[in-house]
Amino acid sequence: MKLDHIQIHTTDAKLALNISDPVQHIEQPRAKQHIEQPAATLEIHSTPAKLLIDSSQAYRDLGLYTPKEAVEVNAQKGKQKAMEGIARRASEGDQMMNISKNSGDAIRRIAASKAIPAPPQMAITWKPSVGAVKIHYQAGSLDINIQRHQPKIDVQIGKVVHDYTPGDVTGTLIQRPSVETTVIKGEN
């Protein structure tokens, strides 16, 4: 005996898809930056130092005088030499006046004192006095003033430009799905 058969025939559905891709555009403009550094201000103030050296006393000790001082010193020396000459002549006069009392050798003594000069001195005759050179120092000053200035920074950030078009999918049914069944009879 033969049995009935069922024959099943199916047709798949067919779709047509229309797909448009999304479009995205991103742009980042460069930032604009401006930096300015003002120069620092530098001020220097100075007072010069002073050094005063007074060596006038050392020059006087050497015998070097100003014209006014030279006149005064030489006048004093002249007066002193004149007084010494007067005293010497007075002494010689007294010796001559008393020649009878001194056994008559006053002329010989006066002549001997003039005939033999005094030996010259062979030594350093000049030596400055203590403190002959006066030194005065007045210190100077130096003031330095620096003013620094902060940099000026200006930044303008470019905004992001974002453009987005979303994608789209559309579908069309080209073929409908179907199921067909057929029964085939079996024979006896």
Alpha-carbon distance 130 to 127, whole Å?
Answer: 9
Q: Taking 80 as the threshold, does the pLDDT of residue 134 lie above it?
A: yes
| Residue 181 Cα distances to 7, 11, 29, 76, 175, angstroms | 6, 12, 67, 167, 18
Report pLDDT for 103.
67
The answer to whether residues 35 and 153 touch, using CB atoms and an 8 Å cutoff, is: yes
State the pLDDT confidence band at 125, using cuts at 50, 70 and 90: low
- Tens of pLDDT along 16-54? 888 999 999 999 888 899 999 999 999 999 999 999 999
